[in-house]
Structure 1
Amino acid sequence: MFRRAFWFTAGAAAGVWATTKVNRQIKKLTPESLAAQAADRAVEAGHRIKDFALDVKAGMTRREDELNDALGLTRDPDRPDNVTALPGPRRLHALENDQDIHRSKFSYNRNEDH
């Protein structure tokens, strides 16, 4: 008698456990649940892409600063857009060359030949 009661209880418990497990899986496969899972994964992917882009930007900035230091380029605080400028002697030489081009006797209008 106790043996039958034990197996009956064990079978009922296994049936309840299996039914609960199956119902949970069925709920996971409903269209609403699948849509929610897809939305959560899309948001997660967006965060990963954003973090990657921020890491790339930080690396680019760090590398640009390294190259500017290696080339002797500095940031010009007088310019509003904070553009990298040539250091003193190079900048003066570049400005002198630019003025010489404008003073030259040759015209650089490409439409004159036509």
Structure 2
Amino acid sequence: MFRRTFWFTTGVAAGVWATTKVNRKLRQLTPESLAAQAANKAIDVGHRLKDRARDFALDVRAGMAQREAELGDALGLNAPVDQLPGPRRYAVIENRNSPKHVETTTYSYNRNEDH
């Protein structure tokens, strides 16, 4: 008699456990539950994309600051105040059609000067 009671109780417990598992799975597969799961996943993806975009923006800003410092050094903008950058050199383009020694006349552009 105890044997039958043991197996009956074991069967009932297994049935309750299986029924509970199946009901949970069926609730997860309802349209409302699937929609809620999809919305939660979309929100998670949105948060991940937002984090990646923020990281990208920080990387771009760091690169811009580094390049700005390099350009400042190259142009002498980051030199100490007591030390001025050297004179700039300009490229001179020679006009091959003009004579080499041309005497130039100086013109006065002072309007108050007598003519």
TM-score with structure 2 length normalisation?
0.63
Residue 33 (str. 1) matches residue 33 (str. 2): yes
2:12 alignment partner in structure 1 = 12
Aligned CA RMSD, in angstroms, stands at 2.2
SS, match of residue 11 in structure 2: helix
1:71 is displaced (CA, Å) by: 1.6
> Which residue does the alignment assign to 1:110?
none
One-letter amino acid of the structure 1 residue matched with residue 71 of structure 2: L
Residue matched to 1:69: 69
The unaligned stretches of length 5 or more in structure 1 are: 74-85, 94-114
Name the structure 2 match of 1:60. 60
What is the CA–CA distance in structure 2 between the aligned matches of 1:4 and 1:71, rounded to whole Å? 90
Matched AA of 2:31 = P
How many aligned residue pairs are there? Answer: 79
Radius of gyration: which is bigger?
2
What is the CA-CA distance between 1:72 and the residue it aligns to? 1.1
Query: How far apart are the structure 2 equivalents of 1:37 and 1:16?
Result: 27
| Separation of aligned partners in 2, 1:6 and 1:71 | 85
Q: Which has the higher helix share?
A: 1
Matched, 1:42 2:42: yes
Q: TM-score, normalised by structure 1?
A: 0.64
Structure 2 gaps, min length 5: 79-83, 89-115
Task: Give the Cα separation in 1 of the matches to 2:7 and 2:63.
Answer: 72
